[in-house]
Structure 1
Amino acid sequence: MKAILMRQPGGPEVLAETELPVPEPQSPNDVLVRLHAAGINPVDTKIRAKGPMLPETLTAVLGCDGAGTVEALGDAVTRFKPGDAVWYCHGGLGGPHGNYAEYAVVDESVAQPKPKSLTFVEAAAAPLVLITAWEALHDRARIEPEQTVLIHGGAGGVGHVAIQLARLAGARVATTVSGPEKAEFVHGLGAEYAIDYQQEDLAGAIADWTGGRGVDVCFDTVGPEVFARSIDVMAVYGDLVTILDPGTVGLKEARNRNLRISLELMLTPQLKHMPEALTHQGEILRRCGELCDAGELRIAVADTYPLAAAGDAHRRLEAGGMQGKLVLSLPAADG
């Protein structure tokens, strides 16, 4: 099979198309998937640059997100049959190879039936960001109806689904964007207030929006500087969640406000070998699939690249300013 192999850390040029053996189910619960598309996420570019997160090998096939059709089954698989369309987030961290390839093997508990309303490309774009946003809002922040929620980077991969999930939970949503085009995009997703961080003062905008109270929940998808600034726009007893390392941040004001601060890394169940947590993430994906098929949740794909152009896709992602997701589309991708 064709696959994109990283033999050493470095720039996008280290991603090389090569021929690898088609993997086979190794355990009774394994499913062999013929991939139609593979999602591209910032974690892929970080692993490419710094090396695998699971240091079992220096070589790696990247890509956590995949969508395709079932080709073969382990003896104990009961949830799928050959020809079923599936989507999932698994692999790509080192050790088990990821989804920048024509085939991949995953445990049946991780895979879920692909939503009928999504193409394979859309489905491959979604699992990591959906699970991340769901865990951040529901598992970490414990979002409730009528709360005010600030989502940083609302036009990005995680941000654009987080807006929708927060709205579906009954919350009022504000989000930060750059420029009027992205503001229009996030309003279409259900954001009540779009703050152009290049033109507007965040603290003043949130004070106006909340009547000086601050937001109940803030979800940071950007990084340390934004995380630090977010403390001053939080309501007392609020929840501040970040998906990135917050760095060295003074927390005196966070303590004064009695904030609950949470870190979200949806890759933890893979990194720590936690099968029950992986099953929970599979359930999250199943519920999100139902929302997609009900027309209540949509996935924005900015662009697609052929498998051989994975390096170009990484360059595009690292350039920043993305609206939605990038996806590697394999020849079988037909919706």
Structure 2
Amino acid sequence: MKAIQMREPGTPDVLALVELARPEIQSATEVLVRLEAAGVNPVDTKIRSRGTLIPDTLTAVLGCDGAGVIEAVGADVTRFQPGDAVWFCHGGLGGPHGNDAEYIVVDETIAQPKPAALEFAEAAAAPLVLITAWEALFDRAGLREGQRVLIHGGAGGVGHVAIQLARLAGARVATTISSAEKASFVHELGAEYAINYREESLRDVLADWTQGEGVDVALDTVGPAVFRETIPLMAVYGDLVSILDPGPELDLKEIRNRNLRISLELMLTPQLKGLSAALAHQGEILRRCGEYIDAGELRIHVAERFPLAQAAAAHRRLEAGGTLGKLVLTMN
């Protein structure tokens, strides 16, 4: 099969199109998936530049997100049969098992039926960001109806689905953006305020929106500086969640004075730690999101599609920044 292989950490130039043996079913509960598309996520570029997350592996087929058609099933598989279309987040952290390839083997508990409303490219773009946003907003922050939510980077991969999930929960959403195009995009998704951080005072806008009380929930998708800047924007007893390392320089006094609950979200932990119950929970998140998608209440925005052979170009585009939604590799 054709696959994109990283032989050592480095620039996008370390990604090479190679021929690898097609993976085979090893367990009675596994399924072989012929991949139609794979999502491209920031974690892919980080692994490519820094090294794999799986110990004692140097080479890797990257790609955590996949969507395709089941070609074969193990003897004990009960949920699927050949010909079923599926989507999932699994693999891509080190070694040969990633979605930047024509085939992958996953356990049947990992896969979910692909939403009928999504093309394969859209489905492949979705799992990691949907699970990340869901876990951050609901599992970490306990988001409730009527709360005011600040989502940083609302036009990005995680941000654009987080806006929609928050609105579906009955929350009110403000988000940061950097252009008029992105402002229009996030308003379409349901954001009440689109705050251009290059031109407006985030503090002033939020003070007006919340009558000076601060936001109940904030989701940081950007990094340490934004995380620190968000602390004084929070309401007392608020929930501040980051999907990135917030760094060591935190104002713990202000966090304590506001009685903030600080949470960190890494949706890859269940895969890295082999946590079967948590992986099953993530599958349930995908199932519920699939229902929203098929009901027309949740959408996935794919900004650009690249052929598998152009994986390096997709990495360069993602690292350049400014993308609306997601990037995808397509196999055909």
Shorter chain as normaliser: what TM range? over 0.9
Q: Which residue of 1 aligns with 2:225?
A: 225
Output aligned runs, 1:245-264, within 5 Å: 245-248=245-248, 249-264=250-265
Q: Which residue of 1 aligns with 2:25?
A: 25
TM-score, scaled to structure 2: 0.99
For structure 1, list consecutive stretches of 5 or more residues without a partner in the other structure: none
What is the Cα deviation at residue 56 of structure 1?
Answer: 3.3
What is the Cα deviation at residue 95 of structure 1?
Answer: 3.7
| 2: CA distance, partners of 1:121 / 1:306 | 11
What is the Cα deviation at residue 205 of structure 1?
Answer: 1.0
What is the Cα deviation at residue 259 of structure 1?
Answer: 0.1
Output aligned runs, 1:12-51, within 5 Å: 12-51=12-51
For structure 2, list consecutive stretches of 5 or more residues without a partner in the other structure: none
**Structure 1 position 296 matched with structure 2 position 297:** yes
Query: In percent, how many aligned pairs have the same letter?
Result: 73
| 2: CA distance, partners of 1:56 / 1:189 | 42
What is the Cα deviation at residue 202 of structure 1?
Answer: 1.0
Q: Which residue of 2 aligns with 1:151?
A: 151
Q: State the secondary structure of the residue aligned to 1:86.
A: strand
| 1: CA distance, partners of 2:96 / 2:217 | 36
Which amino acid is 1:228 matched to?
R
Q: Deviations over 1:122-164 (max 9, x none)?
A: 0000000000000000000000000000000000000000000
Which amino acid is 1:172 matched to?
R
Answer yes or no: is the 8 Å Cα contact 2:175–2:194 preserved in 1: yes
| 1: CA distance, partners of 2:111 / 2:313 | 28
Q: Deviations over 1:149-191 (max 9, x none)?
A: 0000000000000000000000000000001110010000000
| 1: CA distance, partners of 2:113 / 2:29 | 16
Which amino acid is 1:214 matched to?
G
Q: State the secondary structure of the residue aligned to 1:18.
A: strand
Which ranges of 4 or more aligned residues in structure 1 deviate by more than 2 Å?
none
| 1: CA distance, partners of 2:308 / 2:28 | 30
| 1: CA distance, partners of 2:5 / 2:75 | 30
Which amino acid is 1:325 matched to?
K
Q: Which residue of 1 aligns with 2:129?
A: 129
Q: Which residue of 1 aligns with 2:316?
A: 315
Q: State the secondary structure of the residue aligned to 1:5.
A: strand
Deviates more, 1:93-102 or 1:215-224: 93-102
Answer yes or no: is the 8 Å Cα contact 1:38–1:329 preserved in 2: yes
Q: Which residue of 2 aligns with 1:55?
A: 55
**Structure 1 position 328 matched with structure 2 position 329:** yes
| 1: CA distance, partners of 2:56 / 2:113 | 30
Q: Which residue of 1 aligns with 2:275?
A: 274
Answer yes or no: is the 8 Å Cα contact 1:39–1:327 preserved in 2: yes
Answer yes or no: is the 8 Å Cα contact 2:5–2:61 preserved in 1: yes
| 1: CA distance, partners of 2:251 / 2:148 | 24
| 1: CA distance, partners of 2:285 / 2:31 | 19
Deviates more, 1:201-210 or 1:166-175: 201-210
Q: State the secondary structure of the residue aligned to 2:287.
A: helix
| 2: CA distance, partners of 1:181 / 1:309 | 27
Answer yes or no: is the 8 Å Cα contact 2:61–2:95 preserved in 1: no
Q: Which residue of 2 aligns with 1:8?
A: 8
Q: State the secondary structure of the residue aligned to 1:297.
A: coil
| 2: CA distance, partners of 1:53 / 1:201 | 38
Instruction: Please give the root-mean-square deviation of Cα atoms over the aligned residues, in Å.
Output: 0.6
Q: How many residues align?
A: 331
Q: Deviations over 1:204-248 (max 9, x none)?
A: 111011110000000000000000000010000000000000002
Output aligned runs, 1:74-153, within 5 Å: 74-95=74-95, 97-153=97-153
Which amino acid is 1:292 matched to?
I
What is the Cα deviation at residue 96 of structure 1?
Answer: 5.4
Which amino acid is 2:70 matched to?
V
| 2: CA distance, partners of 1:37 / 1:52 | 22
Answer yes or no: is the 8 Å Cα contact 2:136–2:241 preserved in 1: yes
| 1: CA distance, partners of 2:57 / 2:261 | 37
| 2: CA distance, partners of 1:56 / 1:26 | 21
Q: Which residue of 2 aligns with 1:286?
A: 287
Answer yes or no: is the 8 Å Cα contact 1:55–1:95 preserved in 2: no
What is the Cα deviation at residue 250 of structure 1?
Answer: 2.0
